[in-house]
């Protein structure tokens, strides 16, 4: 078990170095391509004006899932769920200790590292986290205001930076999104290798999305986050209007109530009942509870039996006392 964790850590660190080298070789002009697109087009508007419109049934809405639908701006908890549910507690722990390092990197590079840690060596046929686990947590993070806008649209296209196997079931089966675009994962001999295919553009999917419906193709409205620089703007270049959702907007959003889910969540097969954010591991749950939980999961993974013995019981068994040393002895 320890050798497997060491090999995984060594592989991820090696890939991380390669990704960082590739990132810093990219010309600076390409890093600014998305912001330049914002400055060169006058079709960008604030999301407030879109929420007030009612005549959207004849339009196709293309939206960024993380920027225009989910209230949380972090994708780390969802990868933590994949690492834990599809992998092991050791894989999840390794991802957890990488978190400070990921915060220092660009969104694209940190995404690639998380994909490598979570998916490397996972068998494609046995991966069920995207359908049996993640939908519950995604639904609990949907912003009611963002969902309200999408519900007015005719055809809806969700574009995500995450792997498609993570978001497709949530969007199609529970929110009734017509078409989902996500990153495709590379597979070798039936196993994920932890790498993603190159991004695609809207031109590669026009026939699948619109079914030769020229009117729907012409009436495209884009909804993206004003701070998400990783969004492939080629997907939104065909849009007549693009609405920007700011951090301030999302901070005032409310979570979508369960009774407003288009389809009820009737199945959840995960071992965790809460989304593993850094806040609920350090605040909502006490340090003792977190320590006991990690100890219990590590014991299960390593084949040890967890007992109900207290610290006092262990001292009595091992040392014959309660672990208290008197300070009044002869020196």
Which of 223, 216, 239, 244 shows the shortest CA–CA distance to 59?
Answer: 216
Phi, psi at 267, each rounded to 5°: -145, 125
CATH number at residue 237: 3.40.50
- What pLDDT score does 122 carry? 95
Are 192 and 295 within one domain? no
Q: How far is CA 233 from CA 87, 240, 262, 290, in A?
A: 33, 13, 29, 41
In a domain, 325, yes or no: no
Are 296 and 203 within one domain? no
* CA 142 – CA 42 distance, rounded (Å): 29
In a domain, 329, yes or no: no
Are 299 and 151 within one domain? no
- What pLDDT score does 253 carry? 93
In a domain, 254, yes or no: yes
Are 300 and 187 within one domain? no
Q: Which residues of 172-208 are buried (b: 16+ CB within 10 A; e: fewer)?
A: eebbebebbbbbebeeeeebbbbbbeebbebeeeeee
* CB-based contact 106:185 (threshold 8 Å): no
In a domain, 152, yes or no: yes
* CA 229 – CA 48 distance, rounded (Å): 21
- What pLDDT score does 211 carry? 63
Tokens of 231: 């969004």
Are 140 and 270 within one domain? yes
DSSP-derived secondary structure for 17-60: HHHHHHHHHS-HHHHTHHHHHHHH-S-EEEHHHHHT----TTSE
Are 227 and 295 within one domain? no
- What pLDDT score does 208 carry? 74
In a domain, 137, yes or no: yes
* CA 174 – CA 190 distance, rounded (Å): 28
Residues with Cβ < 8 Å from 326, sequence gap 6 or more? none
Which of 74, 49, 71, 64 shows the shortest CA–CA distance to 254?
Answer: 71
* CA 24 – CA 262 distance, rounded (Å): 44
Q: How far apart are the first and last CA of the chain?
A: 46
Within 13 Å, how many C-alpha atoms sit on residue 300's CB side? 9
Tokens of 319: 């040392």
The tens-digit pLDDT sequence of the chain (331 residues) is 555 555 655 655 665 565 555 544 443 433 333 444 444 445 778 777 787 787 788 888 999 999 999 998 889 999 999 999 999 889 998 998 898 889 888 888 999 999 999 999 999 999 999 888 999 999 999 999 999 999 988 889 999 999 999 999 999 999 999 999 999 999 999 999 999 998 877 777 777 776 655 555 558 888 988 876 555 566 777 788 889 998 888 989 999 999 999 888 766 566 676 777 767 655 545 555 655 666 666 566 556 666 676 767 766 776 677 666 665 555 4
Are 97 and 19 within one domain? yes
In a domain, 330, yes or no: no
- What pLDDT score does 191 carry? 97
Domain that holds residue 292: 286-318
Which of 148, 213, 145 shows the shortest CA–CA distance to 179?
Answer: 213
Query: Count of domains in the chain?
Result: 2
Are 272 and 290 within one domain? no
In a domain, 248, yes or no: yes
Are 110 and 209 within one domain? yes
Which of 137, 136, 139 shows the shortest CA–CA distance to 256?
Answer: 139
Are 174 and 293 within one domain? no
H/E stretch holding 157 reads strand 155-163
In a domain, 250, yes or no: yes
Are 305 and 229 within one domain? no
Q: Which residues partner with 221 through β-bridges?
A: 61, 241
pTM of whole model > 0.85?
A: no
Are 192 and 299 within one domain? no
């Amino acid at each position: 078990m320890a050798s497997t964790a060491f090999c995984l850590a060594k592989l991820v660190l090696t890939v991380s170095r390669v990704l960082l080298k590739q990132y810093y070789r990219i010309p600076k002009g390409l890093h600014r391509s998305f912001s330049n697109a914002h400055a060169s087009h006058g079709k960008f508007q604030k999301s407030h004006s879109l929420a007030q419109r009612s005549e959207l049934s004849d339009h196709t809405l293309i939206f960024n899932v993380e920027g225009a639908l989910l209230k949380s701006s972090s994708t780390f908890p969802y990868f933590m769920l994949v690492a834990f549910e599809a992998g092991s507690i050791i894989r999840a722990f390794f991802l957890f200790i990488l978190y400070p390092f990921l915060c220092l990197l660009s969104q694209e590079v940190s995404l690639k590292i998380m994909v490598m840690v979570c998916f490397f060596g996972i068998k494609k046929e046995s991966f069920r986290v995207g359908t049996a686990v993640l939908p519950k947590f995604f639904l609990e993070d949907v912003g009611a205001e963002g969902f309200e806008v999408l519900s007015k649209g005719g055809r809806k296209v969700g574009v995500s930076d995450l792997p498609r196997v993570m978001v497709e079931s949530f969007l199609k089966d529970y929110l009734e999104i017509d078409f989902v675009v996500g990153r495709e994962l590379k597979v070798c001999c039936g196993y994920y290798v932890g790498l993603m295919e190159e991004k695609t553009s809207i031109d590669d999917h026009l026939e699948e999305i619109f079914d030769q419906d020229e009117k729907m193709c012409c009436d495209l409205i884009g909804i993206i986050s004003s701070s998400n620089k990783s969004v492939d703007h080629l997907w939104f270049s065909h849009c007549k209007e693009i609405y920007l959702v700011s951090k301030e907007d999302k901070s005032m959003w409310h979570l979508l109530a369960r009774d407003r889910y288009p389809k009820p969540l009737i199945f959840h097969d995960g071992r965790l009942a809460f989304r593993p954010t850094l806040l609920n591991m350090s605040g909502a749950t006490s340090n003792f509870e977190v320590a006991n939980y990690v100890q219990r999961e590590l014991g299960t993974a390593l084949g040890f039996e967890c007992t109900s013995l207290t610290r006092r019981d262990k001292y009595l068994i091992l040392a014959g006392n309660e672990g208290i040393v008197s300070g009044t002895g002869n020196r």
